[in-house]
Chains A and B, each alone.
Chain A
């Protein structure tokens, strides 16, 4: 496959790995932000090929993992309404809420429909005027533009039955929070390539300057990740802290202007609760006043306030990079992808699921 095979080239990977081994002289903890990067690191067995002195810390960039339990409970409530169909991305439906998941709710008769795009949910709403359609909009800056577009499309079509339940989160505030955490030992970051494709590189400069930490925007294929690490370790060994862009084939300084315009049109920055981490100031996107009539939060009042996290799950520590999945006593025992105690065991981008599914030790 063009644009993929080149970045899976064995000879290049080996060359970069050799160089990485050669230049690494001290212990470094490097966090890959995005769950997609975690998935690729573990799936391709890269973690085992790195120098011993490099510790990969898996970041919070898994949208499924950080969606707060209250919102999953709300989505389940909405799906149980006779007049409503809840549309969701696939890997959201297995995430445990206080009691059960959307998948379990579906088996009990709730109206849950898996879609690949919010625009399919708009189409469904248009074809089914007798039903209210709620799209469960989760994700980072990556999915925000198309979710925004779906609201605009629904407006344009004059639909009165399309709504969005929003839990959008933003990467830079999370990085800021992680670096302020006194327990955190992160020396450098691989920033999430896809997020930067939309948002550009500029947002990360304040973090580099404030914390003197190298940030390398990286892609997702083996060559991307190892080259990203090489750039990051090279800076660390030299005592430098700069913003660098390994993923320059798709990421530029300004990002995708049209996508950013869509986000700005529909969303505004709000405080957001992150599952396992807590409320972070200005860390999410909410629907602007102008489109509030399409906000499911406005149209569906929560019927109970008893959302509870399973206390056996240490997802918060995992998402903040303070523990590795194997350090959890329930990993692979009480907690498996089949019966997850917490969200990181659900999505293939979750650190626990990646370790459970792919590591053979």
Chain B
């Protein structure tokens, strides 16, 4: 959750129904009431108040633009829900371009039968994030689909942000000898969601790490400029996927040290139990940074000064020893490849 918590005590508007039906998506009276009372009042701003299908925006300099669809199941999980995930996720994608997110769109695809109070809880979480980071929801869309044609609620968000003048982020900026850092414990989000997934429920104190990390990345860019070569938040596919994306696009290798990759003991245990590898598990509030080796220590110190990056760590470096491969050195001295994942990680039989 965001650093600056907003006291949120806005009560849910009263409705004479408690379930979303197809009629709420029909464009008629019911839909109008739903949007008016749930969306427009909550997220009111100059753009949204126009109740237009689009928005006219003022931006300076280069613009970063990103879209993502959120289909997480279940929609509520320890540490968050599909709402804050959808805002944090897209804002983080903008931030990883070296930009500050300014505006966001909100598209809801609601399955018939969703309870109004569930929708309200999701919107409430969205409200908290956008207020905390002064992002405006400037346009959106709501559709209702028949029961069985969705999974309670899907959300699409598209974000726009202003690129910071000193940002020079890209795989092509990466040099041999650069250090690879990660801003926190990996795998927490994926395992927290799995812990409440149907047929797999297990008791854990794990929480999703869903959070906005753009405030930290912005400070790093403003301080270190082009010495900050590359940033990416390793969401679906995890740390391994992001690192493989880097090595597949240049001729370098990344050599990691297994012992240095930060993973919470609960995540490690859950992964052991299910036969999964934490490097492939999704994250929602962590980023990987590749930085020039001479600033690595200072970058780490700056990251750790933020509560949400307290466990930031150096995990390895860029080399030319194993072109196009990500290699991890085990504690006992053996080496292995971390390949790109084929499809989903499959739980093993025994």
The interface residues of chain A lying within 8 Å CB-to-CB of B275 are: 348
Select from chain A the residue with minimum beta-carbon distance to B332: A13
User: Chain B 318-350, CB within 8 Å of chain A: the 1/0 string?
Assistant: 000010010101111111110100110011111
**Contact check: which of A10, A115, A120, A140 meets B350 at CB < 8 Å?**
A140
Q: Is A46 an interface residue (CB 8 A)?
A: yes
User: Nearest Cβ distance between residue B63 and chain A, in whole angstroms?
Assistant: 37
Q: Is A21 an interface residue (CB 8 A)?
A: no
Knowing A1-B272, A338-B342, A360-B327 touch, does A89 contact B349 (C-beta < 8 A)?
Answer: yes
User: Chain A 142-175, CB within 8 Å of chain B: the 1/0 string?
Assistant: 1100000000000000000000000000000000
User: Nearest Cβ distance between residue B344 and chain A, in whole angstroms?
Assistant: 8
- CA A357 to CA B244, docked complex, whole Å: 13
Complex contact A45–B336 (CB within 8 A)? yes
Complex contact A337–B342 (CB within 8 A)? yes
**Contact check: which of A42, A120, A348 meets B199 at CB < 8 Å?**
A120
Complex contact A14–B268 (CB within 8 A)? no
Q: Is B28 an interface residue (CB 8 A)?
A: no
User: Nearest Cβ distance between residue A91 and chain B, in whole angstroms?
Assistant: 4
- CA A1 to CA B272, docked complex, whole Å: 10
Which residues of A, 312-333, contact B by the 8 Å Cβ criterion? none
Complex contact A114–B268 (CB within 8 A)? no
User: Nearest Cβ distance between residue B195 and chain A, in whole angstroms?
Assistant: 12
Select from chain A the residue with minimum beta-carbon distance to B327: A360
User: Nearest Cβ distance between residue B187 and chain A, in whole angstroms?
Assistant: 14
Complex contact A360–B322 (CB within 8 A)? yes
User: Nearest Cβ distance between residue A185 and chain B, in whole angstroms?
Assistant: 25
Knowing A116-B199, A360-B322 touch, does A139 contact B334 (C-beta < 8 A)?
Answer: no
- CA A43 to CA B330, docked complex, whole Å: 8
Q: Is B265 an interface residue (CB 8 A)?
A: yes
The interface residues of chain A lying within 8 Å CB-to-CB of B322 are: 360
- The B interface, classified by DSSP as helix, strand, loop or mixed, is loop
The interface residues of chain B lying within 8 Å CB-to-CB of A114 are: 346-347
Complex contact B199–A45 (CB within 8 A)? no
Q: Is A248 an interface residue (CB 8 A)?
A: no
Q: Is A134 an interface residue (CB 8 A)?
A: no
Complex contact A116–B200 (CB within 8 A)? yes
**Contact check: which of A14, A44, A91, A359 meets B346 at CB < 8 Å?**
A91
Complex contact B336–A360 (CB within 8 A)? yes
User: Nearest Cβ distance between residue A136 and chain B, in whole angstroms?
Assistant: 10
User: Nearest Cβ distance between residue A2 and chain B, in whole angstroms?
Assistant: 10
Q: Is A48 an interface residue (CB 8 A)?
A: yes
Knowing A1-B272, A36-B350, A63-B349 touch, does A46 contact B332 (C-beta < 8 A)?
Answer: yes
User: Chain A 41-77, CB within 8 Å of chain B: the 1/0 string?
Assistant: 0111111110000000000000110000000000000
User: Nearest Cβ distance between residue B94 and chain A, in whole angstroms?
Assistant: 32
Complex contact B335–A142 (CB within 8 A)? no
The interface residues of chain A lying within 8 Å CB-to-CB of B199 are: 115-116, 120, 124
User: Nearest Cβ distance between residue A148 and chain B, in whole angstroms?
Assistant: 15
| Residue with the highest number of chain A CB atoms closer than 10 Å, among B322, B329, B330 | B330
Complex contact A44–B336 (CB within 8 A)? yes
Which residues of B, 56-90, contact A by the 8 Å Cβ criterion? none
Complex contact A91–B337 (CB within 8 A)? no
Complex contact B349–A347 (CB within 8 A)? yes
- CA A251 to CA B305, docked complex, whole Å: 48
The interface residues of chain B lying within 8 Å CB-to-CB of A358 are: 336-337
Q: Is A92 an interface residue (CB 8 A)?
A: yes
Complex contact B347–A91 (CB within 8 A)? yes
The interface residues of chain B lying within 8 Å CB-to-CB of A202 are: none
Q: Is B51 an interface residue (CB 8 A)?
A: no
Select from chain A the residue with minimum beta-carbon distance to B202: A116
The interface residues of chain B lying within 8 Å CB-to-CB of A13 are: 332
User: Nearest Cβ distance between residue B321 and chain A, in whole angstroms?
Assistant: 9
> What 8 A-B pairs are tightest by C-beta distance, nearest first?
A45-B334, A90-B346, A90-B347, A358-B336, A13-B332, A91-B346, A89-B349, A360-B337
Q: List 19 A-B contacts (CB under 8 A).
A: A1-B265, A4-B272, A10-B331, A10-B332, A44-B334, A45-B329, A48-B335, A89-B348, A94-B346, A138-B349, A139-B350, A142-B350, A194-B350, A222-B330, A222-B332, A348-B348, A349-B348, A359-B337, A360-B335
Chain A residues within 8 Å of B, Cβ to Cβ: 1, 4, 8, 10, 13-14, 36, 42-49, 63-64, 89-94, 103, 114-116, 120, 124, 138-140, 142-143, 194, 222, 336-338, 347-349, 356-360
A49-B334, A91-B348 given; name 5 further pairs at CB < 8 Å: A45-B329, A48-B335, A90-B347, A116-B199, A348-B275
